[in-house]
Structure 1
Amino acid sequence: MSLFHRDRFDTALSQLPGVTFVDQWDARVAKVGGKVFCLLTDYEPRCIVFKCSEESFDILTSLSGVTQARYFAKRKWASAEAGSELGEDDLLAYVTRSHALVAEGLTRKLRAELGIL
């Protein structure tokens, strides 16, 4: 099953420490410490939106089916459509990195409470 299916999305991302889910913005939103790190759109085409480094952003957006995320004002947020050139394993790796990037911005105390080293 693909990450673009809600059950797989929830199962894969719930393995990361401190993750919670909410339904908002016509999407399934994954948060760590109350901050968004990834979302799966409910509308077509299905997209997974995630935070990435500036270098990764340039690489990712050169792939077919990967663009700057709509409604995210800053670069460093990519949107991958189902069927994009980005493979499933690579997409999961970027989502995991997104979790780490957002978690880095949390306080040391909150990271400890969430089990994030």
Structure 2
Amino acid sequence: MTAKSTGMTVEQLDALCARWPGVVRSIKWEVDLVQSVANKMFVVLCTLGAERGRLSFRVDTERFLELSEQPGMGPAPYMARAFWISETEPERFTHEELAGFVRRSYELVRGNLPKKTQAALAQ
């Protein structure tokens, strides 16, 4: 039996998000890798310092309380009001679980874009 990989590396996040329409990668605040669609962030990965490896992402409004109270997760600093969660213990989550959260975050952010922008991304 093989152990499942946990957490998500910069390389894994880049490979995952690069497949989706309109995604742009950038570094913000000198330490955070940000993936955005139409200039709207959908995932942040801290790359340096004490928070290194911490992944933050948007979640469905109705799941925010459930997920923020789950062991290994909590409201994202500065972004909780926008229903963002931060995983605080990457080793608790498989790569596949985190990839699902990141994909859902992308869908939520993309779904809130103007219809014209969404249509342009589909081409």
TM-score class normalised by the smaller sequence: 0.7 to 0.9
| 1:115 corresponds to | 122
Q: Between Structure 1 and Structure 2, whose CA radius of gyration is higher?
A: 2
Which structure: greater helix fraction?
Answer: 2
Equivalent-residue separation in structure 1 for 2:57 and 2:37 (angstroms): 13
2:61 corresponds to 1:36: no
| 1:56 corresponds to | 63
Equivalent-residue separation in structure 2 for 1:83 and 1:56 (angstroms): 21
| TM-score w.r.t. length of structure 1 | 0.86
Pairs aligned (count) = 115
Identity %: 26
1:73 deviates by 4.9
Runs of 4+ in structure 1 over 4 Å off: none
CA RMSD after TM alignment: 1.9
- Within a 5 Å distance, the mapping from 1:1-117 to structure 2 comes to 4-25=8-29, 26-43=31-48, 44-45=50-51, 46-81=53-88, 82-84=90-92, 86-115=93-122
Equivalent-residue separation in structure 2 for 1:75 and 1:110 (angstroms): 21
| TM-score w.r.t. length of structure 2 | 0.82
